[in-house]
Amino acid sequence: MDIQTILQKDQLNKEDLVFLLGRTDRAECQALYEAAYRVKLEYIGNVDYYRGLLEFSNRCIKNCLYCGIRRDNTEVARFDTPREDILQMARWCFENQYGSLCLQSGERQDEAFIAYVESLIRDIKRIGGGALGLTLCCGEQTEETYRRWYDAGAHRYLLRIETSNPRLYATLHPQDGHHQWQVRKDCLAALARTGWQVGTGVMIGLPGQTLEDLADDILFYQENNIAMVGMGPYVVHHNTPLGNEVTAAGRDTRRDREERLRLGINMVAATRLYLKDVNIAATTALQALHPLGREMALKAGANILMPLVTVQRYRTQYQLYDNKPCLEDSQDECRHCLAGRVASIGDRVGWGEWGDSPHFFNHLGDKG
Ligand code: 5AD
Ligand code: SF4
């Protein structure tokens, strides 16, 4: 197969995706990224949107084998950000023209948590008369809960499927009945039914994951009418079962990390080429593997950045993986640093705009 022939095609198929994802040659990767950036220019423009990312609590009832804040990690102190601090950060986002705020936490399904988030949404929507877009990332919930939170005023929800392969999913999660791929998938459908703009994503470079799996992930986004994609390389966390296994097997060398980074960028590019009009995040995990990881993703078709607005004293307690960047920076530093990164690649920031996915409006009413 010849990369130029594939890049000129109007619609790629799975075989093309596998081929593109597997490119390692520098010139071929460059051609792939340039083609994806051209599609971004055509469908989105050279504009990148900010979502302030506020990690407000690291309490989690789940025990995902890869994650640093899993329930059984007793090394990490648990925190809840005081309500007033959250509201102050939300006001900061509004005043600094971040179009939108993303509230993320570990997963809890108790009524106290559900009601707390609901009232938080209402308070945040009062800021600037509803001007701040609001995204939630609080895990698996019932359709009733998703409805309550939507009715309170949030409108975008991120829930990663982690991998579209149920067998691979099973190797990454405890088999205790509480970590089921089908439940995760049903949640995505419930979110779409409730009216949310739905985002999902996967981890890239997982042990046992093939290029076919990754191509299937992209097909999964399309089949489920996904408006936003947030995906990033798998990064080892030292105090997790999966992290220990990967390290003990000698599979977290510098070369392994470079490989996961390249695969991560290839995935961004292939997803942009295939889905065209969705929002794609340049995730922080990319930067954990390379200082310029996020810029590389923007140049390969991503259009969303999520500067950290987590209250500074809690940042070290929200480490899903090792080497999380920006731990020491204040939200002001993150704002400037990222604006510089955007300008460095010739893009501009969509200040004060919600930056909703064009896909959502192009496909309203499609089955998801
Ligand atoms: N490496 C990369 N991403 C991770 N996540 C959790 N742990 C890791 C890790 N070790 C991602 C998962 C989850 C999101 C909140 O963070 O995809 O859905
Ligand atoms: Fe909890 Fe999410 Fe981490 Fe799983 S990935 S342990 S649900 S915070």
pLDDT the model gives residue 104: 98
Q: Which atom of ligand 2 is nearest to the CA of 60?
A: 1
Specify the residue for token string 């999660």: 173
Residue type for position 314? Y
Query: Cα–chain-centroid distance for residue 51?
Result: 11
pLDDT tens digits for 96-135? 998 899 999 999 999 999 999 999 999 999 998 888 999 9
Question: Is residue 24 scored above 60 in pLDDT?
Answer: yes
| Site residues for ligand 2, CB cut-off 6 Å | 60, 62, 64, 67, 69-70, 106-107, 139, 320
Question: Is residue 367 scored above 50 in pLDDT?
Answer: no
Q: Is 50 helix (H, G, I), strand (E, B) or coil?
A: strand
Q: Is 229 in the pocket of ligand 1 (CB under 6 A)?
A: no
pLDDT the model gives residue 354: 78
Torsion angle in degrees (nearest 10) through CA of 310, 313, 317, 319: 50
- The pTM (predicted TM-score) of the whole model is 0.96
Alpha helices by DSSP H, 109-161 = 111-126, 143-152
Q: Which atom of ligand 1 is nearest to the CA of 104?
A: 15
**Average pLDDT of the residues of the chain:** 95
What pairs with residue 104 in β-bridges?
55, 137
pLDDT tens digits for 148-194? 999 999 999 999 999 999 999 999 999 999 999 999 999 999 999 99
Q: Is 321 in the pocket of ligand 1 (CB under 6 A)?
A: yes
Residues 6+ apart with CB under 8 A from 88: none
Percent of the chain with pLDDT over 90: 87
pLDDT the model gives residue 366: 61
To test ligand 2's pocket by mutation, which of 140, 242, 283, 320 has the most ligand atoms within 8 angstroms of CB?
Answer: 320
17 within 8 A of 217, measured Cβ to Cβ: no
pLDDT the model gives residue 368: 39
